[in-house]
Amino acid sequence: MDPILTIVAGATILTVIGIMSGGTFLLRITTRGLPFNGLQKTFFRAGHAHAGVLVMLGLVSMLLVSAVGVPVPWQWASVGVLASALLIPGGFFLSVLGRDPERPGPALALLWTGVVVLAASLLAVGIGVIAAGVAALG
């Protein structure tokens, strides 16, 4: 794996600590009855879940493209998966900030940007892995 991508992977593992603290925040919301409305609780849960899943998908993508010998420039597509792990949850969390919002705010655009980044990145990772497999056939 490219050394810079290795550093990115290590830093990403450290972000799981932040995701864990988000879990304790969700626990406090549900057990202590903190003043958040249903929309906020739903979006906070969705943001937390997407953060954890997308970080793991990004790390798996990084390992996979490295293991099968995808050329280094194509390996960077896996960083896009990790970027979506910031954008999508960010859209969920930031779009419902404020006192008792009735619907998501403009920050929801982050979510949709993350969806586009995720789709493009997964397409590139998938094509890179398939191309490496075809090249290995001879």
- What single letter denotes the amino acid at residue 32? R
Q: What is the pTM of this model?
A: 0.89
pLDDT in tens, 18-63: 888 887 877 777 777 777 888 988 998 899 999 999 999 999 999 9
67 token code pair: 């293991």
pLDDT value of residue 28: 78
Average pLDDT over residues 95-106: 91
Count of Cβ atoms closer than 10 Å to residue 52 Cβ: 17
Local structure of 8: helix, strand or coil: helix
